[in-house]
Amino acid sequence: MPYKLGEVILSREVIAQRVKELAGEIARDADKDKGLVVVGILTGAAFFLTDLVRELPEYLDVRVDFMSVASYGDSTKTSGVVRIFHDLKSSIEGKNVIVVEDIVDSGLTLSHLLGLLENRNPASLKVCVLLDKYERRQTEVKVDYCGFRIEDKFVVGYGLDCAGMWRHLKDIKYVIEE
Ligand code: 5GP
């Protein structure tokens, strides 16, 4: 195998603490009468989303839905044009929506996806990402809640994979090419 695991960049304790803080920010900003639809982008963000929503207060009406998308392009570059494999179960029209993504890199996938969701006329559309590789941005994308800004190195764990592997790691680690 050409890859091996490198050092931990974000430990499970650091992640858990930040997830609590993000949930606090989201709850503080939420419209208590309207509730929230939390949309996870499969597969990576499912891990983050399930921890995040469990930190939201009981009094908020929180709904969870998932989408599975893939962007056209080759294995190293995303074109940003996304194809929906699995769509939301419920309409988001008139709802307050937060899209939860594991990592934003060039921003192309997320910005195309947000365009798609915006067309469905939600009352509001916000973005929460666990990791932001801000140096790599090719298009502006509005990130309302960000866990950590990280440098441009490939990471795995806590939902993030490398060719399907290592999603299950509790810590986020660098990958070393051998
Ligand atoms: P972009 O923002 O470039 O359109 O694409 C973001 C997607 O690239 C993420 O959803 C993720 O699948 C993948 N990605 C970008 N950087 C990393 C990384 O460091 N590790 C992993 N596992 N995936 C990454």
SS3 content of the chain, % helix, strand, coil (to 5): 25, 35, 40
Asked whether residue 170 is domain-assigned, the answer is no
In terms of residue numbers, what domain contains 145? Answer: 11-153
Asked whether residue 132 is domain-assigned, the answer is yes
Q: If you measure from the C-alpha of residue 20 to the centroid of ligand 1, how many angstroms do you get, rounded to a whole number?
A: 23
What pLDDT, on the 0 to 100 scale, is given for residue 74? Answer: 57
CB atoms within 10 A of CB 101: 23
Q: Whose CA is nearest to atom 3 of ligand 1?
A: 106
Task: Report which of 113, 115, 120, 119 is spatially closest to residue 129, judged by C-alpha positions.
Answer: 113
Q: 112-167, pLDDT tens digit by residue?
A: 999 999 999 999 999 999 999 999 899 999 999 999 999 999 999 999 999 999 99
Q: How far apart are CA 164 and CA 172, in angstroms?
A: 15
Does the N-terminal peptide bond of residue 50 adopt cis geometry, omega within 30 degrees of 0?
A: no
Asked whether residue 176 is domain-assigned, the answer is no
Q: Decide: 60 and 24 in contact? Cβ < 8 Å.
A: no
Q: What total of structural domains would you count in the chain? A: 1
Q: If you measure from the C-alpha of residue 34 to the centroid of ligand 1, how many angstroms do you get, rounded to a whole number?
A: 32
Q: How far apart are CA 104 and CA 38, in angstroms?
A: 17
What pLDDT, on the 0 to 100 scale, is given for residue 106? Answer: 92
What pLDDT, on the 0 to 100 scale, is given for residue 73? Answer: 61
Q: Enumerate residues lining ligand 1, CB below 6 A.
A: 44, 71, 78, 80, 102-110, 133, 154-156, 160-162
What CATH number is associated with residue 51? 3.40.50.2020
Q: Is 105 assigned a catalytic role?
A: yes
Q: 66-106, pLDDT tens digit by residue?
A: 999 987 665 556 666 788 999 999 999 999 999 999 999 99
